[in-house]
Structures are given as C-alpha cells and as structure tokens.
Amino acid sequence: MDSTEHLQLIYIILAAAVATFVTRIGGYVMITQMKRIPPRMEAALNSVPAAVLSTLVAPAFVQGGWDVAASMLVGFAVGLRFSSLWMLLAGWLAVMALRHWML
C-alpha cells in the first residue's frame, strides 16, 4: 500500500469511528427530541444488520470454492446449537481437513 492509500485508510477508520459514535449517542438524542419512530421505519431499521451481513455470507458461499462452501455448512450446523466461537472452530477444522486430505 502506498502512502496515499494508507492515508485514505486512516480517514476511513476515523470516519467510521465518528459514524459508530453517532449510532451510540443517536438513541439518546432521539429519545430526548422525538416521540416515536414510525412502525414501518422501525421494521426496516430492525432488518438492517441481518440484511447487510447476509450480503457478506451468500456470495462467499457461492464463489469461495467447494471447500469453503462445505466448511461454511459445517459452521452453520454447529451455529444452530452452539456459540460463534464453536462455529469458527468447527468451520476452520473442516476446511483444514478438506484441504489436507482432499486437495
């Protein structure tokens, strides 16, 4: 990375830090200013994290190759019952095993 790109990254991080702080103080500001959020807007806001994060999961599953897809399925199965730390461990073991013995 050259220095212009690196400076850009620093700006991204600082802008994201400000944006994050806005989310952390936003509810306090809103509750002292506004009465209530319209229900459809609230439903839309509620869906934001799952909607954004899904776009980081689905394409990786389709494009990452069969070993990545298989280990994601293992992680998914584990994640239905256990915490995400176990998901990560299971998925990681799966991909290491697949690459070691199958490729």
Partner 1 sequence: MVSAAPFGALFGALAVDNGFSVFDAVLMSATLYAGASQMVGIELFGQKVQPWLIVLSIFAVNFRHILYSASIARHIRHFSGLQKFLTFFLLVDPQYAETEKRAERGERVTFVWYLGFAMIIYIPWQVTTLLGAIFGQMIGDPRAIGLDVLLPIYFMGLVLGFRKRDNWLPVVAASSLASIAAMHFVGSPWHVSIGAIAGILLAACLPLPKRHEEPVTLEHEV
CB of 85 to partner 1, least distance (A): 6
Q: DSSP code of 20? A: H
Handedness of CA 22, 24, 27, 28 (dihedral sign): negative
Rounded Cα distance, 70 and 103, in Å: 13
15-44 residues near partner 1, rule: CB under 8 A: 15-17, 19-28, 30-32, 39-41, 43-44
- Are 77 and 89 in contact by the 8 Å Cβ rule? The answer is no
4 binds partner 1 (CB under 8 A): no
Residues that bind partner 1 (CB under 8 A): 1, 6, 8-17, 19-28, 30-32, 39-41, 43-64, 68, 71-72, 75-76, 79-80, 83-85, 87-88, 91-92, 95-96, 99
